[in-house]
C-alpha cells in the first residue's frame, strides 16, 4: 500500500534554510529532485515542489474564453452573481498550469544532466489520471504552488527498460489551502 499523500503543502526553503511563503510539513530530507531521476532513483514518499504561479484576472479570462467559457470564468459582473461570488479560474487552467510546471521541471532536469555529463532521465507517456478534484476556487491574485509526490512504482510488464511511477499531485494557495489534487502515473526509463 502506498504511503498517504501529504496533507500540507511542500516546504520551500530559502537562504539559511528558513521557510519562505507557504507553510508545510514535508521534511527537507523527504523532498528532492524526483522529476530529475531515473526509475531506480525515485524515492517513494518524496515530494518535489514544481513551482508557483500567480493567476491574474486577464489570464483567467483569456484562458476561459478559449477553452472553458463559463460566465464565472469570463465575465466579472456575471461571476459576482454566481455561487462563487466573483471571477475564478477554470479548473482546466489550474490543471494545465500544473502540467506546464512539470514539463519545465523535467526539461530542466534533462538539461542539467547533459550539462554535468550524466545520462539524462527518460520520460514516457502517461496512461492517465484519476481522482482529479478542484477543492477551492482559484481567484485573481492567488498564487498556487504545485507539487508532486511519488506514491508507487513498478516495472513495466509490457515495455522493457521502463517502469511505471504513480504520484499524487497538488496545488496549494498562498493561505496554505489545498485547491487542487489528482493521482497520476507515467513511464520513466530504468537506469
pLDDT tens digit sequence for 35-58: 888 999 999 999 999 999 999 999
Mean pLDDT of 154-161: 95
The structural domains of the chain, with segments of one domain joined by +, span 31-189
pLDDT number for residue 115: 95
Q: From CA 36, how far away is CA 148, in angstroms rounded?
A: 12
Q: From CA 32, how far away is CA 149, in angstroms rounded?
A: 10
From 2.60.120.380, 3.10.129.10, 3.10.450.50, 3.20.20.10, which CATH number describes the 31-189 domain?
A: 3.10.129.10
pTM of the entire structure? 0.83
Handedness of CA 119, 150, 146, 84 (dihedral sign): positive
Long-range contacts of 128-134 (CB under 8 A, 24+ apart): 128/184, 128/185, 129/182, 129/183, 129/184, 129/185, 130/182, 130/183, 130/184, 131/181, 131/182, 131/183, 132/91, 132/95, 132/181, 132/182, 133/180, 133/181, 133/182, 134/91, 134/94, 134/179, 134/180
Q: Mean pLDDT of all residues in the chain?
A: 86
Residue 143: Cβ within 10 Å count:
15
Q: From CA 138, how far away is CA 60, in angstroms rounded?
A: 9
Mean pLDDT of 64-71: 94
The phi and psi torsions of 21 (rounded to 5 degrees) equal 65, -110
pLDDT number for residue 32: 61
Nearest to 129 by CA among 173, 170, 86, 88: 170
Amino acid at each position: 500500500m502506498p504511503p498517504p499523500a501529504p496533507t500540507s503543502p511542500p516546504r520551500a526553503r530559502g537562504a539559511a534554510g528558513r521557510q519562505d511563503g507557504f507553510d508545510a510539513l514535508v521534511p527537507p530530507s523527504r523532498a528532492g529532485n524526483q522529476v530529475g531521476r531515473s526509475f531506480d532513483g525515485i524515492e517513494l514518499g518524496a515530494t518535489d515542489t514544481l513551482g508557483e504561479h500567480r493567476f491574474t484576472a486577464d489570464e483567467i479570462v483569456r484562458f476561459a474564453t478559449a477553452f472553458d467559457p463559463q460566465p464565472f470564468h469570463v465575465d466579472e459582473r456575471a461571476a459576482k452573481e454566481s455561487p462563487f461570488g466573483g471571477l475564478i479560474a477554470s479548473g482546466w487552467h489550474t490543471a494545465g498550469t500544473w502540467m506546464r510546471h512539470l514539463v519545465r521541471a523535467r526539461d530542466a532536469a534533462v538539461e542539467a544532466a547533459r550539462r554535468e555529463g550524466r545520462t539524462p532521465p527518460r520520460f514516457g507517456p502517461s496512461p492517465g489520471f484519476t481522482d482529479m478534484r478542484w477543492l477551492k476556487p482559484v481567484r485573481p491574485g492567488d498564487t498556487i504552488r504545485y507539487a508532486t509526490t511519488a506514491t508507487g512504482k513498478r516495472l513495466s510488464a509490457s515495455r522493457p527498460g521502463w517502469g511505471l511511477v504513480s504520484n499524487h499531485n497538488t496545488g496549494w494557495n498562498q493561505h496554505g489551502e489545498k485547491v487542487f489534487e489528482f493521482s497520476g502515473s507515467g513511464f520513466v526509463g530504468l537506469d
